[in-house]
Amino acid sequence: MIYLFCFLIGLIFGSFLNVVIYRIPKNQSIISPRSYCPKCKSKISFYNNIPLISFLIQNGKCKKCKKSISLVYPFTELITGFLFLIGFFYFEGIESFTFITVSSLLFAISIIDYRHFIIPLKLSLFLIILILPNLFFLAKPLFYIYGLLVGLGYLLFIYIITWIITKKEPLGLGDIQLICILGLWLGPIKVLITIFLSACIGIIYWLLLYFINGYEKNKKLPLGTFLSISSILVYLY
């Protein structure tokens, strides 16, 4: 019963993350106004805004304009529900709280970066705040500070090599911030594994795009998405 309750709380939190994902890139308040349809802008009643259930009852369409609701909404709620369940089941105390909140926020960042190719500074700063309890209460702080330095050192190496070869900046500021924050969360070894795994995912993603759409010289890749997903998997491993 406790696991079901935890999953339901995760669904509710996922519903809130949908607001974050939609509004933060647009520099809109996540507090007001209340939830509304992105298509017709009509406000959504609380009984039509029940996580996952409302989407199923309404057949994935807005109650007012009847236009399709993006699958990202129920998908985010579902994934967040499972992250809450995993965090409660596998971890205890401070670590449980940190994993649940950090992994959920990382998932939101992955969606934002995939859609807009940005990692909002507000969310990066909030990630640091969420990681701090894990840093000071569960392990030696220096170990995770080494993780930050290792991530930063790797970035500097890649930046210099790429600049010498291509004369272009290989990473955005948001990606650099995220890797440093992940180093603080994961430590020196796991942050390197995360970077490697995200590179592998990026290559697979690029190959899929290549076979589907053909070669695009200036095609952007959402590195923040790959890093966020990889870090959650590596932390669990």
- Answer for the pair 130, 101: CB distance below 8 angstroms, yes or no: yes
In a domain, 33, yes or no: no
DSSP string, the chain: -HHHHHHHHHHHHHHHHHHHHHHGGGT--SSSS--B-TTT-PBPPGGG--TTHHHHHTTTB-TTT-PBPPTHHHHHHHHHHHHHHHHHHH--HHHHHHHHHHHHHHHHHHHHHHHHS---HHHHHHHHHHHHHHHHHSS-HHHHHHHHHHHHHHHHHHHHHHHHHHSS--S-HHHHHHHHHHHHHH-HHHHHHHHHHHHHHHHHHHHHHHHHH---TT----HHHHHHHHHHHHHH-
In a domain, 206, yes or no: yes
Residue 26 has pLDDT above 80, yes or no: yes
pLDDT at 114: 93
pLDDT (tens digit per residue) in 181-204: 898 888 888 888 998 899 899 889
pLDDT at 104: 96
Q: State how far the alpha carbon of 234 is from the alpha carbons of 71, 94, 186, in Å.
A: 26, 19, 8
pLDDT at 57: 83
In a domain, 192, yes or no: yes
In a domain, 194, yes or no: yes
In a domain, 222, yes or no: yes
In a domain, 130, yes or no: no
Please give the mean pLDDT across all residues of the chain. 84
Number of domains into which the chain is organized: 1
Q: What range defines the domain where residue 233 resides? A: 135-237
Q: State how far the alpha carbon of 222 is from the alpha carbons of 104, 165, 197, in Å.
A: 18, 22, 14
In a domain, 123, yes or no: no
pLDDT at 161: 66
Residue 87 has pLDDT above 70, yes or no: yes
In a domain, 210, yes or no: yes
φ, ψ at 169 (rounded to 5°): -75, 125
Q: Is the C-alpha dihedral spanning 45, 49, 53, 54 positive or negative? A: positive
Instruction: Read off the pLDDT band of 63 (50, 70, 90).
Output: confident
pLDDT (tens digit per residue) in 139-192: 677 777 777 777 777 777 766 766 665 556 556 677 888 888 898 888 888 888
| Cβ neighbours, 10 Å, residue 218 | 4
pLDDT (tens digit per residue) in 106-126: 999 999 999 999 999 899 989
Residue 201 CB partners (closer than 8 Å, separation 6+): 226, 229, 230
| Residue whose C-alpha is closest to residue 149's, from 120, 98, 183 | 183
